[in-house]
């Protein structure tokens, strides 16, 4: 290729790129919109595939568009600046300084109030749930179940549900049989049963930091000590720190959200998962793996789990459909490995059975392929929401704001400039009918005072966009 042609090609691809950029700037193409395919661009502009590809690379470099696996390119971001990712946490496990209880309960209490924009919400909004299709399954369950769901199910749980969860484990390279699984009333019940089976008052457990406040509160109420581990917003828990902690402390169990942790959105790479399983095996410490977000990935395929690499049954893998299908159905499960008998007995003693009919509905939904169809659309919506959040936050939040880059899940973690107290911001926001989750809730230590979690499982629209802008405005006022 001589220099002229290169120059011409250069100009051409830049010209095409500039053309698309303009469409984005003038909002002809909006965040989340799909771009025409490369083939289409070739045809429309009479250019080669290579030129079109170069144009797209140029836009991608500017963070204006992003590829989505097996789908094409999407408008991702209209910002000129890219926000930094927060550094890995460095919790200091001294005495608990402050219980986040007050906000915790206030948040749950507020959850049914009207006219509040719930960035604090940990579950998807009604509009994102496949309600009509679930109702169809509900009618079928009512007609087909013996006793229409009024009777008890088997002790270990609905057999078809267990079969479907086992079948589904194939997607994360797991190899579960239906007999490995015990159903529960949502994921938190699964975790509660595991913790009751494996710990007693005074024991120590180790978790990621920041960590979902529900886990911290549960542990607290059970009289457990909590060690918080340094955690990267991208790759999850720091394995050297883990090893160090386990070698120096008697730890009853670890609890990790290996995929799209709440609140960071971090994902442990396969190699980390494998290594974590080895380390825990070595120190003979069971791992509760809270995999409730694993199906909500933005990447190419369903990520593996620690359970994928677990050969001895030391991992208690927990899941649910509360983040993807129906929070109010209370359907969850656990594959407790070698702790199955102990966990089953806790379930039996504390709750007997699960709700027969909702567990049957979910079994049917998983069985007939509706779950996968729903997830495709659902993941797309959430990814678009996430991109919209990044755009608005980049534009509206104070300079120096850092944000996590969730690779799936439902929440984004935001670090505001030092000096901004998100507890104060929480109060301010509530006065503006906006609910956020201040960072202090996600730790029992003195950290994350300038951080917050925002959930993007909402229906995107003006109300949500304006809500984000308001948070930005309130935050800037402190600065």
Residue 129 interacts with a second copy (CB under 8 A)? yes
For 146, other C-beta atoms within 10 Å of its C-beta total 8
The residue from 3, 201, 248, 431 that contacts a second copy (CB under 8 A) is 201
The enclosing H or E element of 358 equals helix 356-367
CA distances from 22 to 27, 37, 76, 178, 379 (A): 8, 18, 14, 54, 28
- 318 — phi, psi (to 5°)? -115, 145
Closest by CA position to 293, among listed 307, 303, 278? 303
Residue 223 interacts with a second copy (CB under 8 A)? yes
Q: Which two tokens stand for residue 110?
A: 């507020």
The residue from 38, 138, 253, 267 that contacts a second copy (CB under 8 A) is 138
Residue 182 interacts with a second copy (CB under 8 A)? no
Query: Would you mind telling me the total number of residues written for the chain in this entry?
Result: 479
Residue 144 is given by DSSP the state H
The enclosing H or E element of 183 equals strand 182-184
The residue from 17, 134, 257, 454 that contacts a second copy (CB under 8 A) is 134
Closer residue to a second copy in complex, CB, 16/205: 205
The residue from 165, 239, 268, 357 that contacts a second copy (CB under 8 A) is 357
Residue 247 interacts with a second copy (CB under 8 A)? no
The residue from 56, 74, 298, 353 that contacts a second copy (CB under 8 A) is 353
Q: For a second copy, which stretch binds (CB under 8 A), given 28-36, 37-45, 151-159, 454-462?
A: 151-159
Residue 330 interacts with a second copy (CB under 8 A)? yes
- Least spacing, CB of residue 135 vs a second copy, in Å: 5
Closer residue to a second copy in complex, CB, 73/371: 371
- Least spacing, CB of residue 407 vs a second copy, in Å: 26
The residue from 12, 14, 79, 155 that contacts a second copy (CB under 8 A) is 155
Closer residue to a second copy in complex, CB, 68/374: 374
The enclosing H or E element of 318 equals strand 315-320
The residue from 67, 299, 328, 461 that contacts a second copy (CB under 8 A) is 328
For 461, other C-beta atoms within 10 Å of its C-beta total 11
What is the SS3 assignment for 354?
coil
Closer residue to a second copy in complex, CB, 191/451: 191
What is the SS3 assignment for 367?
helix
In this structure, the strands spanning 451-455 and 437-438 are antiparallel
Residue 326 interacts with a second copy (CB under 8 A)? yes
For 20, other C-beta atoms within 10 Å of its C-beta total 22
The residue from 15, 25, 102, 105 that contacts a second copy (CB under 8 A) is 105
In this structure, the strands spanning 204-209 and 451-455 are unpaired
- Least spacing, CB of residue 61 vs a second copy, in Å: 41
* DSSP per position, 237-259: E-HHHHHHHHHHS--SEEEE--B
**Given the rule CB under 8 A, which residues bind a second copy?**
105, 108-109, 111-112, 123, 126, 129, 131, 134-135, 138-139, 142, 146-155, 185-186, 188-189, 192, 196, 200-201, 214, 217-218, 221, 223, 325-330, 345-346, 348-358
């Amino acid at each position: 290729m001589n220099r002229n042609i290169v120059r011409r090609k250069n100009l051409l691809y830049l010209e095409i790129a500039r053309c698309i950029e303009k469409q984005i700037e003038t909002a002809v193409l909006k965040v989340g919109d799909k771009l025409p395919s490369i083939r289409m661009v070739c045809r429309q502009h009479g250019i080669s595939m290579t030129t079109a590809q170069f144009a797209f690379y140029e836009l991608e470099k500017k963070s204006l568009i992003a590829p989505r696996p097996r789908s094409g390119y999407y408008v991702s971001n209209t910002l000129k600046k890219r926000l930094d990712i927060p550094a890995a946490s460095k919790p200091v496990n001294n005495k608990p300084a402050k219980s986040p209880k007050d906000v915790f309960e206030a948040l749950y209490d507020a959850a049914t109030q009207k006219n509040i924009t719930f960035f604090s919400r940990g579950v998807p909004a009604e509009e994102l749930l496949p309600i009509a299709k679930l109702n169809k399954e509900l009618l079928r369950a009512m007609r087909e179940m013996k006793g229409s769901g009024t009777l008890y199910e088997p002790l270990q749980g609905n057999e078809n549900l267990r079969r479907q969860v086992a079948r589904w484990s194939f997607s994360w390279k797991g190899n579960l049989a239906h007999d490995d699984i015990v159903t529960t009333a949502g994921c938190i019940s699964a975790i509660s049963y595991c913790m009751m089976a494996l710990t007693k008052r005074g024991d120590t457990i180790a978790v990621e930091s920041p960590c979902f406040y529900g886990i911290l509160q549960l542990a607290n109420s059970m009289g457990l000590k909590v060690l918080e581990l340094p955690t990267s917003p991208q790759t999850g828990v720091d394995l050297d720190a883990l090893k160090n902690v386990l070698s120096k402390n008697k730890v009853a169990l670890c609890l990790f959200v290996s995929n799209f942790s709440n609140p960071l959105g971090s994902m442990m790479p396969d190699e980390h998962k494998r290594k974590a399983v080895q380390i825990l095996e070595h120190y003979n410490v069971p791992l509760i793996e809270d995999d409730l977000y694993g199906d909500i990935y933005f990447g190419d395929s369903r990520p593996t789990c620690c359970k994928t690499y677990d050969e001895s049954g030391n991992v208690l893998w927990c899941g649910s459909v509360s983040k993807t299908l129906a929070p109010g159905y209370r359907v969850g499960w656990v594959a407790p490995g070698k702790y199955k008998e102990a966990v089953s007995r806790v379930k039996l003693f504390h709750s007997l059975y699960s709700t027969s009919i909702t567990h049957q509905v979910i079994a049917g939904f998983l069985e007939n392929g509706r779950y996968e169809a729903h997830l495709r659309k659902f993941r797309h919506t959430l990814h678009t929401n996430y991109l919209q959040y990044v755009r608005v936050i980049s534009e509206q939040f104070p300079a120096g704001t850092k944000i996590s880059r969730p690779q799936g899940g439902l929440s984004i973690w935001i670090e505001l400039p030092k000096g901004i107290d998100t507890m104060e911001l929480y109060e301010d926001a509530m006065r503006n009918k906006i609910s956020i989750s201040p960072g202090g809730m996600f730790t029992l230590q003195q950290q994350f005072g300038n951080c917050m979690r925002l959930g993007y499982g909402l229906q995107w629209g003006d109300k949500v966009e304006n809500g984000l802008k308001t948070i930005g405005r309130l935050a800037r006022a402190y600065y």
